[in-house]
Structure 1
Amino acid sequence: MRSRYALSSRATRPRSRPRWPPGCAIPTGGADMAHANTIETLLARQDISDCIMRYARGIDRGDEALLLSCYWEDAIEVHGPAYNGPAVPYLKEAAGRMRQNQPVMQHFIGNVHIEFDGSDTAFVETYILTFARFPKNGEEFDTLTGARAFDRFERREGEWRIAHRRAVFDWNRDAPASETWCLGAFDTTHPDMVMGRKAPDDLTYQRG
């Protein structure tokens, strides 16, 4: 899949200077500042953001193909003490684990900060809030984790993907699972109650 754009030579020509608030430090981001307001860069930001959203959907649904579409084949994943190495085997294992052993998981994407380094590299910080349910000693726990992904994106043949990702963990909260479906407002046995599933059985994969 090729991107809709290619950064042209015009992207490196300075445009009008932005008016920064009084007392605000003026960024000196080189190539980033040189084409910060071009259509090409706005499209690049959108492509990078789409990739991040695609990752969240892929991991939550256990969709291996979707996850692999977010990373280059030679990408590296550093996921705390859990994993440090080539991303592809990590993604394949994670997708299988999500489908088999992780019925409930959601990744919520927050702030996304993108800094370009030339035309084909971007450094991206993404805030991520993760909800998951894990069993321990015969009891289920709901866990919330606040983390950030520090990515180096690379554009190859017009497409932006992750070349290196390192996870940074900021906080965590665990509590015994308590699920009453809004104090009984929803009947999970009702035929119209659609529950989330993994790929390819989730409603999001159905068309028509």
Structure 2
Amino acid sequence: MDIQPNTVESLLAKQDIQEALVRYARGVDRADGELLKSCYHSDAIEEHGNTYTGLAHAYVDGAIERMAKLKHPMAHYLCNVHIDLDLKAGLAYVETYVLTFARFDNKAGEPNDTLTGGRIVDRFECRDGAWKIAHRKIAFDWNRDAPANETWCLDMFKPDAPGMNMGQRGTGDLSYQRF
């Protein structure tokens, strides 16, 4: 790999790519289909493990439908991001470490927590001045599942108390409010 010195153009491209990654994580966690689609070119491909391979916008539509049925919120945390940028070609190969926390009910209807570590590997392309995902694949590295055991910091926080903002899907979430 040839390390190139940063230029204003390369820093702006990397910032645009980082912002697309953050929009994706927020879009998934808030079940915001429009926000998710804004991260992909219209002809982008999504390969999401063994669950989906095809057009990314169709993946988003199906994911939003599935997330609407979930009782519990989820959270995606982006960690290390490596961007291999080729400005002349308008390409970037991006590896993003991700931690995903989700709560799903098991077959008996009991809540279980799952924590998954993996990497999102993307090919970004700059088209009409916009850096977006053209092809995405997921690498799953590890997973930990356990029965839910939520005590909110040993009962320091009370989820039902006035003034407590609990995360939720959609535009009712605190992050959509402007105060």
Alignment RMSD (CA, Å): 1.2
Q: Following TM superposition, by how much is the alpha carbon of 1:102 offset from its aligned partner in structure 2, in angstroms?
A: 4.9
Aligned mate of 1:180, from 145, 151, 165: 151
Residues in 1 aligned to 2:71 and 2:32: alpha-carbon distance in whole angstroms: 13
Counterpart mapping for 1:102-141 below 5 A: 102-119=71-88, 120-136=90-106, 137-141=108-112
**Deviation (angstroms), 1:59:** 0.2
Question: How many residues align structurally?
Answer: 177
Gaps of 5+ in 2: none
Kept after mapping to 1: 8 A contact 2:70/2:104: no
Asked if residue 200 in structure 1 is aligned to residue 149 in structure 2, the reply is no
Q: Is the aligned partner of 1:63 residue 2:37?
A: no
Give the alignment's TM-score, normalised by structure 2. Answer: 0.95
Query: 1:153-172 to 2 correspondence within 5 Å?
Result: 153-172=124-143
Which consecutive aligned stretches of 4+ in structure 1 deviate over 3 angstroms post-superposition? none
CA contact (8 A) 1:99 1:199 kept: no
Measured after TM superposition, the shift of residue 96 of structure 1 is: 2.6
Greater gyration radius? 1
In 2: Cα distance, 1:88 partner to 1:41 partner? 28
Aligned identity (percent) is: 54
Q: State the match for 1:54 in structure 2.
A: 23
Contact 2:73 2:169 in 1 (8 A): no
Counterpart of 1:101 in 2: which secondary structure? coil
Contact 1:113 1:124 in 2 (8 A): yes
Question: Does the 8 A contact of 2:93 with 2:124 survive in 1?
Answer: yes
Distance 2:19 2:87 in 1: 20
- Stretches of structure 1 lacking an aligned partner (at least 5 in a row): 1-26
- Larger strand fraction of residues: 2
